[in-house]
A and B are shown apart, each in its own frame.
Chain A
Amino acid sequence: MTELRELARKLLADGTVQIVIGYEEGPKCVRPSFARDAAGADRLIFDDRCAHDLAAYLSPRRLPVKRQGRVAVVLKGCDACALAGLVRESQIKREDVVVIGVRCGGVKADPRSPGPLSESNVADRCRGCTVRTPTHVDHIVGPETAGHPGPSSRDARIAEIEAMSQEARWKFWMGHFERCTRCNACRQVCPLCFCERCLQDKTQPQWLESSPHARANLAWHLTRAMHLAGRCVDCGECERACPVDIPLSLLNRKVAQVVAERFDHHPSDDPSVPAPVGTFSKEDAQEFIL
């Protein structure tokens, strides 16, 4: 913690950056923090409740952050993959942001869950994590920590869902989508949902119905999952933000499984790793083309 605070204080004092985005103790729980001076730097913390993906604040559309000047940001390995996505897709320049990487031994799925980090409250994405120490960073802080063994329990859940009858699977998903009010929390917290104008906000023509009925909600969530194919870094923010607890990361995980299988692509914190979307390779599987 001292290491992180001292670094933040130094970056702010010598004018390298004007704001450090990290984590702080909020009124009820840990939350994003926006340090602009030494006092702010001294509020910074990092622990196993820091589930939030702060790369979302780096989108060029985040005007209040952009106005502050040059930004330093605290990123876990998974969050660094999101930053790499923003760089890869030309949303920001890597040299415009100072990255403070944190070594991470896993975070809680719900930052508010009480007690120490355990197998029962750890975020599923942390099981078998391969990016516990982000590499493409300007600074790295925090102690080496043991991670959580895989495999992801969602893989088993996905297999269960796929084994259901078509009717049961439809019922499962529609039961969840019926609760969706299209508040758009999933989209807004997603670091890779950065479109200036989202498909679902377009009205001429209206590609997607904006009404929160099950039919339109299904179309929205499937469309969003497909738009994140090969782009989603499994930071879990969409699922954490959903106020009605739709298991959105099951969709993204399934798509990621397909992308991994078909294109051998896995989320990476290296911006130079090409994304399958936007890359043509003659080696890509084409047996489905008649």
Chain B
Amino acid sequence: MNDATTLSRSSLAALVADLAAAGTRIVAPARAADGGVDYRGIASLDEAVLAGALPRRSLKEYFLPPTEPLLAWKQAGSDVELREVPTKPVPRVVLGARPCDAAAVDVLDKVMGWDYSDELWFGRREATTIVTIACDGGDASCFCTTVGLAPDATRGSDVLLVPAGDGYRAEVVTDKGRAFVAAHASCFVPGDASDTTAFRTAARAKVASNLTADPGKVRAWIDQNFANPLWDEIGLRCHGCGACAAVCPTCHCFDIVDEPDGLGSGVRRRNWDTCQASVFTAHASGHNPRHDQCARCRQRVSHKFAIYPARFADILCTGCGRCARACPGGQDLPEILARISAL
């Protein structure tokens, strides 16, 4: 599918206004009250921050929220009454997703639909149209080109917009994207007048210059080096804080807790969790198979670059670099990949 159209900035504003008027929820990178950029609901294009730094948190929270109810319960004598919570997601459009964040959602489809199809995840997936904007190559922590993606990758997107002139060249990626463009045909002008080659080439080259590493080699090394001094060294600086997993677009582990909201009633919730926390693997007996931060760091790198590839033929990382930017201890995943590649 490569039927390109052109979307001017003014048409994009009109498109947002149309969507808002129709009651469609629009999510875009936008300034939060404290000045930082998050993916959040917008009512007009003026609120969106479509270029510049990555939003603080990835897009994953729109498909796997940090916390969500699964069911409610009520005790009545010796009976327990279970009540379903509404799971019908509202239609929405993500505008200005970063390619690394859009790709992550597609990567996660594999585990979410693996031995059980997660209806909450896929419900939101189906209800959401992702319109991605190609990025200009980000900063020194970006490494999407190392994991098979690119600043203009289409993976996970329904429509890809590439900056061109005062607007965008719009590429339809999926049938959902085609339907979206068709539904707003007045905004998209057929034909692509602008050449985006220079933008794409420069962005790709910028990211590629950040890191030389071979994921195939990394995987092979991990498979052979469960016990290696490298893990001991990496674990030294790790605080076990979990900031990396919180901002990661592909870290998806969760905990399930029962939270009372009164006497004999409560809500069962699904909450984000992280393998970087000691309690993540703590057994009731007191034993902890991942007994220190070295083992937990090894787990995070292994899951992304060896375990997920082995199970799903896919890397559980889209090279967004958020973990490296967020780490208060200076742990740098690109550095680890480069070191392993050079061994």
Contact = CB atoms under 8 A, between A and B. Distances in A.
B241 A185 contact: yes
A4 B130 CA distance: 53
B35 to A, nearest CB: 8
A243 B293 contact: no
B189 interface: no
B34 A243 contact: no
Interface in B265-302: 269, 271-272, 274, 277, 279, 291-294
A240 B328 contact: yes
B308 to A, nearest CB: 21
A64 B255 contact: no
A220 to B, nearest CB: 13
A56 B141 CA distance: 25
A10 interface: no
Nearest to B294: A64
B332 interface: yes
A32 B237 contact: yes
Interface in B233-284: 233, 235-243, 245-247, 255, 257, 259, 269, 271-272, 274, 277, 279
Chain A: number of interface residues, binned into ranges: 35 or more
Contact of A185 (B56, B235, B293, B328): B328
Interface in A142-184: 175-176, 179, 181-184
B332 A26 contact: yes
A52 B334 contact: no
A189 B239 contact: yes
A63 B246 contact: no
B8 to A, nearest CB: 34
Interface residues of B, number: 49
B289 to A, nearest CB: 14
A31 interface: yes
Interface in A184-228: 184-185, 187-189, 201, 206, 209-213
A27 B259 CA distance: 43
A65 B243 CA distance: 21
B57 A175 contact: no
- Chain A interface helix/strand/loop/mixed: loop
Nearest to A247: B34
Contact of A31 (B38, B56, B272, B329): B329
A243 B241 CA distance: 10
Contact of B235 (A30, A64, A241): A64
A243 B324 contact: no
Contacts of A245: 34, 36, 56
Interface in B10-33: 32-33
Contacts of A237: 328
Nearest to B260: A206
B235 A243 contact: no
A27 B334 contact: yes
B109 interface: no
A62 B294 CA distance: 10
A189 B244 CA distance: 13
Contacts of B246: 181, 183, 185, 243-244
B1 to A, nearest CB: 36
Interface in A238-252: 240-245, 247
A282 interface: no
A240 B322 CA distance: 15
Contacts of A181: 57, 61, 66, 246, 272
A263 B329 CA distance: 34
B120 interface: no
A31 B330 contact: yes
Contacts of A184: 241-242, 277
A113 B329 CA distance: 16
B203 interface: no
Contacts of A189: 239, 241, 328-329
A156 B58 CA distance: 33
B140 interface: yes
Contact of A211 (B271, B322, B325): B271
A193 to B, nearest CB: 10
A87 to B, nearest CB: 21
A228 B151 CA distance: 44
A46 interface: no
A209 B243 contact: no
A29 interface: yes
Interface in B206-241: 232-233, 235-241
A32 B235 contact: no
B334 A201 contact: no
B111 interface: no
Given A64-B292, A179-B32, A212-B67, A244 B242 contact: no
Given A32-B237, A63-B291, A201-B279, A176 B34 contact: yes
A175 B240 CA distance: 26
Given A26-B330, A26-B332, A210-B255, A244 B56 contact: yes
Given A183-B243, A245-B34, 11 more contacts: A64-B235, A175-B34, A182-B66, A185-B239, A187-B241, A188-B239, A188-B242, A211-B269, A237-B328, A244-B56, A244-B57
9 contacts: A27-B335, A28-B141, A28-B332, A63-B293, A64-B293, A181-B246, A183-B241, A241-B239, A243-B322
Interface of A: 26-32, 34, 52, 56, 62-65, 68, 175-176, 179, 181-185, 187-189, 201, 206, 209-213, 237, 240-245, 247
The list of the 10 closest CB pairs from A to B, nearest first, reads A31-B330, A183-B246, A188-B241, A185-B241, A241-B328, A185-B243, A183-B242, A63-B292, A211-B67, A212-B66
